[in-house]
Structure 1
Amino acid sequence: MSNGNYSIGGQVGGGFGASMGGDYGSQGGGFGGDGGGDGPTGGDLIFDVTTQTFMADVMEASRQQPVLVDFWAPWCGPCKQLTPIIEAVVKAAGGTVKLAKMNIDDHPEIAGQMGIQSIPAVVAFKDGQPVDGFMGAQQESQVKEFIEKLAGPAPVNQADAFLEQAEQLLVEKDFGQAAQLFGAVMQMEPDNVKAICGLAQCYLDADELERATQALDMVPEDKRSEEAYTAAKAALDLAEQAASLGDLAGLQERIAKDPQDLQARFDLALGLNGKGDKNGAVDQLIEIVRNDREWNEDGARKQLLQFFEAWGFKDPASAYGRRKLSAVLFA
């Protein structure tokens, strides 16, 4: 993003960095003195910086890793657009870069000495010197490209990589390999809710309901509102309901004799879902909605929504069910 027309305060490219370098090094008192005041602690990636803390928190810190300085003000509309974007990209960068936010209304000295005449302005510091920057609101992809050019791509998180592979294996119904990878993630991150629930799903798909229950019991209480847990718990509840139905042939015979036997259709839907026939389960519930929307206090539609929660939004059966339900409700 440091192209030929990059400028802050009319200074271009190397001239910007070179013209400020000596001043920074020689103005310890003006740019922070002893570095007093509240600054970042430990591994803080995003923090506020003041004139007093600039030397320690930006200049010196940039010798360890690049530091971006976001010059902003409360009245600046584009600043409000840029700040959440740059914060998100910095967090996703995995600690390769830090972000210091400087309110120029409260601390105008540094921006003035750097010749910054409009905001938002972002300046990158590395090895104690300003090396690059941009002005104005930017798209997330542009900010990401800027940071990767400055600090390199974010390191690959092995747990995330294993989790992605395991979830794909689950879709491909390779439950053994998926379970091994979910287990590997849990070794690295014991409280990883997606890994725990993924392992539970492997057990569910193998009809090992007791082991699935034991796996879900490992999810910490304070994380049981997360989508991965609620979906897995819904799937377990459905599997337990299906297991209690036994052989489905009797239900199918009841429907053949009396197509208006809505309870038989409802129970058959649960059983079909338990056997992996999701579309068949949808069809039975849709037939109930078509015949009697109010049956069992709107029970068929509510059961469809529970299916969708258990299957997940991206599951093709969820999309199939939503299409069928919309067609019936809005016909």
Structure 2
Amino acid sequence: MRGAVDLSSLRNRPAAPPSGTAPAGAGVLPDVVVDATDESFGQILEISRTVPVVVDLWAEWCGPCKQLSPIIEKVTRELGGRVLLAKVDVDANPQLAQGFRAQSIPMVVALIAGQPVPMFTGAVPEQQVREVFAQLLQVAAQNGVTGTLPIGGSEAEGAEADAEPPLPPLHAEAFAAIEVGDYAAAITAYEKALAENPRDEDAIAGLGQVRLLDRVQKLDLQEARAAAAAAPLDVQAQFDVADLDLAGGHVEDAFARLLELFAQLPSDQRTPVRERLVELFGLVGAADPRVVSARNRLSSLLF
């Protein structure tokens, strides 16, 4: 991401307070969600030395932005000051849009100690947003950015009052493990939760997501793609690239690869591919149009 984002022109400009925050030096922010502008971005960069800052580049005309932004805001508020969300209207702030090279929106980038870290482009499901935020906190901790913003004012009190109830113990255990990158421990916690309640939909979704994270952290992108290209009918090689594609947000590519594999395999070898597709469908969400399309294609291949 460095080199792809040029923030130098915004680094040294006067730090006018972003809308929704207290003036510089006031010490307490009234909210963890602020509107950032070309003029106020210097202060945003400074805050990123205390907590990671998530920058949401959006526009009023952008439909996917209206799907993604509320999810990001919800997850940010749940973290209680460990992350600041800076919302940037690209139409009103062309210098920021140019600095981040926002060729398409929604585009979400994090700042850790002033350095940009890619998150995602385009609308993504809430569970994936949560996992990326967990990874962001892990990266921030590795770079010594572990502060908490002091939040005050009626908005923050309202957010606290509206906060969701605490996670069940095993879910909290899994989430804590994800935050530190211990996916094996998270898998164990979710499996215990499912042993207690096989219909726990949150545990089912969480287990699928963390299994994906566990699989892809062991893969090298270039090696995996080379292996898949060399052996088009090697099921595991194709699984590896599909996992990497899905984790990277290339959902349609992942589905297309596995559907093509399914179509080419003999009928007695198709079951693992069908099961993996169903697992990935669950990660993205049954209502997602990409899932609906892929599921229809799978049905046509089955019958």
Classify the TM-score, shorter chain: 0.3 to 0.5
Instruction: State the TM-score, normalizing by the size of structure 1.
Output: 0.39
Q: Which has the higher contact order (CA 8 A, sep 6+)?
A: 2
Tell which structure's C-alpha radius of gyration is larger.
Answer: 1
Instruction: State the TM-score, normalizing by the size of structure 2.
Output: 0.42
